[in-house]
Amino acid sequence: MPINDDSENDILNPTATTPLSELMVGRRTLLAGGFASAAVLFFGTPASASSGSGSVASAAAKTKLSSGVGGPSLGFSSIAASTVDGVVVPEGYTADAILAWGDPIMSDGPAFSEDASNSAADQQLQMGMGHDGIQYFPLEDENAHGILAMNHEYTTNNLLFPDGDADWTAEKTLKEQAAHGVAVVEVMKGDDGSWGPVDSDRNRRITPNTPMEFTGPATGHRLVQTDGDPEGVAPVGTLNNCGNGVTPWGTLLTTEENFNGYFWEETEGAADAITAEQAEINARYGVAGTGFGYQWASTDERWRADLNPNEPNRFGWIVEIDPYDPTSTPKKRTALGRFKHEGAAVTTSKNGRAVVYMGDDQRFDYLYKFVSKYPWQQEIDAGRSPLDEGTLYAAVFNGDGTGQWQPLTAGRGPLTSDKGFADQGDIVVKARMAADLYGATPMDRPEWTTVHPERPYEGFVTLTNNTRRTSPNPANPRVENRWGHIIRWEENSYPTGRDPESTTFRWEFFVIAGPGDGVDGSTTTASDNFGSPDGLWMDNNNRLWIQTDGGQPDGANNQMLCANTETSEIKRFLTGPVDCEVTGAAQTPDGTTMFINIQHPGDGGTPEDPSATSSFPNGGRPRPATVVIQKDDGGVIGT
């Protein structure tokens, strides 16, 4: 979402100001004297943060999860921060835009119209808007031929339509819906080294109107039944797909983030069918009023939450898509919980179980993980999904550098019928509310997660920013956290050792973002500084890529940096065009081609002057696009 979009900015967690995590894990002393007195920035001044459980500075000192030596080389020269309206990469690299919004994904598809006059039917056959998470699925010639699957998170209507939001019609609803969702596109590297789409039967658009299936504990649950689907098994569509992930069995996990903003929960004169229970759910998930201003509900009653109170409960899930099979039905994997999903990083435990890390991007919401009940290979071989049975956990970060994963399991701990959790379906539909009762740690907007490819017990999460934090907690130490930070954790449990299945972990700050050299507590350098980390991905060669979405030091454009996580060296690798965010990252298996996305370039444009702030990528109306990065000498990206 763009910098000034308020969608993730509401505070919907009632426990935010008095975190239940502090009430329920036996550290009441913190409430009495800890947080109030720690409401100042304390990097470099550890004494001010002292509390019953130790300061954040001491937490970091106790853990030291990195070796401090070795790691991958960052063999490029760091580039300067930029306000240039284009993509800038280091010397020795090229960056080409492909698959821009509106490009047809079939060779006989309708061409993009520069005046935005394409119809809804045209848009259905073209690349969507708001390019976000991207994954590469190799085909036979794996480093030169594959499938890109990417998200189209949201639309900028001043650019999508010739007249913006004016004179809303059903056709406008359909076009806007067709610009959302997911694109699956086969791509190939030509003899000249450049990449482009292939006219393939695999090419596919998935939108808010694509038929899907529920699987897992919410399937058929009373809270997902609707008049159109009384059995509660066949949801329609996916939307606000933000980050994503790839499973070891070769499928895409796409995420549903700010679904709440599409619903109208109050419409003048409507009879209110919302129960007290649903009103509570809506309050916790931000389904309110007329949402973020989307007008779908004015022409399509499905988006009227006052008439269809359970329809919002059918969004906020992780959706699994098989990009290799264009006839496959996308599956909403409900065991992974319902929240404002950002990304899904999958790894394998020592026992072969699938482990999925997931952020819930809202101020003061939580970090989650899912551990499959059975080894994933066994389930895949038996024709079952590993993601339909397992344990969902929410994270508690302690001040001494330790943490716990609290299991959100019906009948266990506080999750009982009298609290509204009669079965696992209740838990996953109301995952945020279950995590509240377990005292998960309210975070500064958890966005993407990633896991070290060689050390599956080691992971990272971006906390993008939270300017409304007034009370620091150990893992979110800055009040008015304008610049964000990145946390590293290491799973560890006795006696099995370091294993993603563990229910305990150690953690530390990997970097505190900001202007650098200590300003605002930042641990970046002043030259390679950044703010609002969002996209995060560690590649096969252990380079960590950090992408930004939000305010940058000195008003620079959003960017992508590369980190060596052993030495904590961070270098700026790419800067994006004006008004954009840089998001999504994937590479060919040999690491010589990287794909990233540029979202909402020039979204300050108007119907009268669409190119008012940017004309990326083609000199006209600004369009989100995929950027292909290659090294001129054919080497691995980042070397």
d(CA 494, CA 504): 9
Cα 263 from Cα 266, distance rounded (Å): 9
Q: What H or E segment, with its residue span, contains residue 333?
A: strand 331-333
* 1: contact with ligand FEO by CB under 6 A: yes
Among 95-103, 193-201, 333-341, 546-554, the segment contacting Ca ion (CB under 5 A): 546-554
Closest CB to Ca ion belongs to which residue?
549
Is residue 577 a contact partner of residue 89, using CB atoms and an 8 Å limit?
no
Closer by beta carbon to ligand FEO, 9 or else 492: 9
Could you say which residues in the range 377-406 bind ligand FEO, by CB under 6 A?
none
Site string for ligand FEO, 594-633 (x = CB under 6 A): ----------------------------------------
Token readout for 616 is: 């990326």
Number of residues located near ligand FEO, criterion CB under 6 A: 9
Q: Which is nearer to Ca ion, 60 or 582 (CB)?
A: 582
Question: Does residue 447 bind ligand FEO (CB under 6 A)?
Answer: yes
Q: Residue from 153, 176, 186, 426 that binds ligand FEO (CB under 6 A)?
A: 153
Angle at the Cα of 185 from the Cα atoms of 181 and 190, rounded to 5 degrees: 150
Distance of closest approach, residue 447 Cβ to Ca ion, in angstroms = 5
Q: Which position among 25, 134, 242, 358 is part of the footprint of ligand FEO (CB under 6 A)?
A: 242
Residues 66 and 568: their CA atoms lie apart, in Å, by 9
* Piece in contact with Ca ion (CB under 5 A), picked from 41-49, 55-63, 172-180, 234-242: 234-242
Cβ nearer to ligand FEO, comparing 257 with 265: 257
Contacted by 122, from Ca ion, ligand FEO, none: CB < 5 to 8 Å by type: none
**Rule CB under 6 A: is residue 444 a binding residue for ligand FEO?**
no
Buried b (16+ CB within 10 A) or exposed e, 146-175: bbbbbbbbbbbbbbbbeebeeeeeeebbbb
In the bound complex, which residue of the shown chain has the CB atom lying closest to ligand FEO?
Answer: 242
CB nearer to Ca ion: give 122 or 256: 256
Under a CB-based contact definition with an 8 Å cutoff, are residues 507 and 403 in contact?
A: yes
Answer yes or no whether residue 1 interacts with Ca ion by CB under 5 A.
yes
Question: Do the beta carbons of residue 96 and residue 195 sit within 8 Å?
Answer: yes
Of 359, 369, 513, the C-alpha closest to 446 is 359
**CA torsion sign, 493 to 497 to 498 to 499?**
negative
Alpha-carbon distance of 151 to 326, in angstroms, equals 16
Count Cα neighbours of 459 within 13 Å in the Cβ-side half-sphere: 30
Per CB under 5 A, 549 contacts Ca ion: yes
**Of residues 151 and 406, the one with the C-beta less far from ligand FEO:** 151
Minimum distance of Ca ion from residue 243's CB (angstroms): 6
Mask of contacts with ligand FEO, 360-379, x by CB under 6 A? -x------------------
Nearest Cα neighbor of 601 from 628, 570, 622 is 622
The answer to whether the beta carbons of residues 132 and 241 sit under 8 Å apart is yes
Q: Give the residue with the Cβ less far from ligand FEO, 242 or 487.
A: 242
Residues composing the chain: 639
- Beta bridge mates, 594: 587, 629
- Residue 153 or 490: the one with the smaller Cβ distance to ligand FEO is 153
Nearer to Ca ion, 13 or 258 (CB): 258
Least gap, CB of 365 to Ca ion (angstroms): 13
What is the DSSP track for 84-128? -SS-B--TTEEEEEES-TT-BSSTTSPPPPTTS---HHHHHTB--
Nearer Cβ to ligand FEO (242/429): 242
Binding segment for Ca ion (CB under 5 A), chosen from 37-45, 221-229, 547-555, 614-622, is 547-555
- Site track for Ca ion across 461-500, x = CB under 5 A: ----------------------------------------
Q: How far is the CB of 8 from ligand FEO (least distance, A)?
A: 6
Q: Choose between 304 and 445: whose C-beta lies nearer to ligand FEO.
A: 445
Contact between 8 and ligand FEO by CB under 6 A: the answer reads yes
Question: Exactly one of 458, 491, 534, 603 binds Ca ion (CB under 5 A); which one?
Answer: 534
Please, what sign has the CA dihedral across residues 129, 196, 546, 461?
Answer: positive
Dihedral of alpha carbons 35, 19, 403, 348, sign:
negative
Nearest-angstrom CA–CA distance, 205 and 104: 11
Query: Considering CB distances under 5 to 8 angstroms, the limit depending on partner class, which of Ca ion, ligand FEO, none binds residue 257?
Result: ligand FEO
Q: Of 1 and 239, which has the nearer Cβ to Ca ion?
A: 1
Residue 342 interacting with ligand FEO (CB under 6 A) = yes
Number of Cβ atoms within 10 Å of the Cβ of 131: 30
Which residues contact ligand FEO by CB under 6 A? Answer: 1, 8, 153, 242, 257, 342, 361, 447, 534
Q: Which residues bind Ca ion (CB under 5 A)?
A: 1, 242, 534, 549
